[in-house]
A and B are shown apart, each in its own frame.
Chain A
């Protein structure tokens, strides 16, 4: 067995222990920096590298060499080619090469009944043509555009997958797979009704919002289902809107279908990782109710209270403020890592991740050195 294969086995065991509630050998670590960061770290052009993926292998090699991590770093679901082919408006590349998500309205308020009757039909017939120009026009042309876009995405994902396999073989990362889905309420807000639209709907048409969340729940479950639940991995669910809701609206409109989603995925034997965006401190009692060993990566909140209320049942992650890497000294960054390790690691159920992903890299700034120092510190001091 090669050293890399042995490292993969060790790391896989650490994550198996973590996900099953056992105290692992040490605190596992995921580098929070993204593919965008890696390209900038290599000194290459962001837009060009996302279009010409052949430039990415040396980018990832340097990225994996320079920063400690137990899981494959980077990755991207926002590859520009198929969005360009489809004439995307909700996902566009900025002039600086970052893929951005402007606030869009894919579904009008008067289309709730159509959506509730058949969410998938409404998506195909009404929502996608509104958001993607490639879904409009002569049927033959639409079919060809769709075929080109699917082929482009399939080719790009296969290429990125091959790079990932090479890096896993060389650096011995844990071999985890993932699926992505959303809480039904967040799905209704994100690309369909927009932040402003759903905020008004909650007051004007709460019954329709609730019915739409129920109607789309089977699609969210299907989207979040892994090919084989026994594989090492998780379904990733980024949570958006709850902190912007009144308590009573959260209780009636957000929580019921979100809870069913997580419970259903867990009942299939899947791990679920929530990215608990913004501040959920007023909802900790709700989160406690979710199935045991739900992974919760927090953006903001009081680490001590979170550990006390949730740490005996669930797996806690996040909370490390990436902004400190830009503004703090190396010692301050390491001290913060130590503080969180002291609070969250005891008893297990802790996965070191940051409060958010690192996308932009200021070449002359301190982020690279500070990030290296923090990852090395947690690796060297996170042993149980």
Chain B
């Protein structure tokens, strides 16, 4: 999805160099979970 309001993990990581060396395998699912939760919430407002 091409949108400034939806960010993939790769895009997020590129914008957050402070995560270098951090446990990304634990961070990625959490960041993605809330990105998707916001997407679902927004779309539910139109369904």
Contact = CB atoms under 8 A, between A and B. Distances in A.
Nearest to A120: B3
A128 B45 CA distance: 8
B46 A192 contact: yes
Interface residues of A, number: 29
A128 B39 contact: no
A364 to B, nearest CB: 35
A190 B46 contact: yes
A191 B45 CA distance: 9
Nearest to B43: A223
Interface stretch (A179-187, A317-325, A330-338, A349-357): A179-187
B4 interface: yes
B44 interface: yes
B5 A187 contact: no
B29 to A, nearest CB: 12
Contacts of A123: 42-43, 46
Contact of A120 (B6, B37, B44): B6
Interface string B11-47: 0000000000000000000000000011111111111
Nearest to A182: B47
A81 interface: no
Most chain A C-beta atoms within 10 Å of own C-beta, residue among B4, B6, B44, B45: B45
B10 interface: no
A4 interface: no
A231 interface: no
Most chain A C-beta atoms within 10 Å of own C-beta, residue among B40, B41, B42: B42
Contact of B39 (A90, A180, A181, A222): A222
A340 to B, nearest CB: 30
A106 B43 CA distance: 13
Given A153-B41, A222-B39, A223-B40, A127 B46 contact: yes
A363 interface: no
A121 B3 contact: yes
Nearest to A149: B41
A120 B1 contact: yes
Contact of B42 (A77, A128, A181, A192): A128
A223 B38 CA distance: 11
Contacts of A165: none
Contacts of B46: 90, 106, 123, 127-128, 131, 187, 190-192
B43 A124 contact: no
A229 interface: no
23 contacts: A86-B45, A90-B45, A106-B46, A118-B3, A120-B5, A120-B39, A121-B3, A121-B5, A123-B43, A124-B3, A124-B5, A128-B45, A128-B46, A132-B45, A150-B41, A153-B41, A180-B44, A180-B47, A181-B47, A182-B47, A187-B46, A218-B1, A223-B43
Interface of A: 77, 86, 88, 90, 106, 118-121, 123-124, 127-128, 131-132, 149-150, 153, 180-182, 187, 190-192, 218-219, 222-223
